Amino acid sequence: VLGASWYLISIERQTTCWKRECRREVTAVCYSSFLYCNTLNDSDRKAWANVTQVFDRCDPQTSKIFSYGIFADALSNQVVSTNFLEKYFYCLWWGLQQL
């Protein structure tokens, strides 16, 4: 349960940073819908993704404007982008470390 909670909060931290930086974006118009998976193939979203600073500012390995805390590890190690079994075992491993 602890590992699953850690995983979900990791995703929430990433989304929070993206939304915050999207609101601050001045070089390109950022719509919050651009941050969701269902717009990945949208031409406006692709054009925005090429000029935005949102993803660079929210990179957990280099971000100085947003603190990911203990959740940075899940994002830095690409846990959120792996298949289910890798996610499961990584979160289980993380949860066991916290005991």
The pLDDT tens digits of the residues spanning 28-76 come to 888 888 988 888 899 999 999 999 989 888 888 888 888 888 787 777 7
**Exposure of 60 by Cβ count < 10 A (0-12 exposed, 13-18 middle, 19+ buried)?**
buried
Confidence class of residue 85 from pLDDT cuts 50, 70 and 90? confident
CA 1, CA 62: separation in Å to the nearest integer?
A: 29
Domain count, the chain: 1
Domain that holds residue 17: 2-97
Contact 34, 48 (CB under 8 A): yes
Q: What is the pTM of this model?
A: 0.76
Nearest residue to 53 via CA among 82, 15, 19, 27: 27
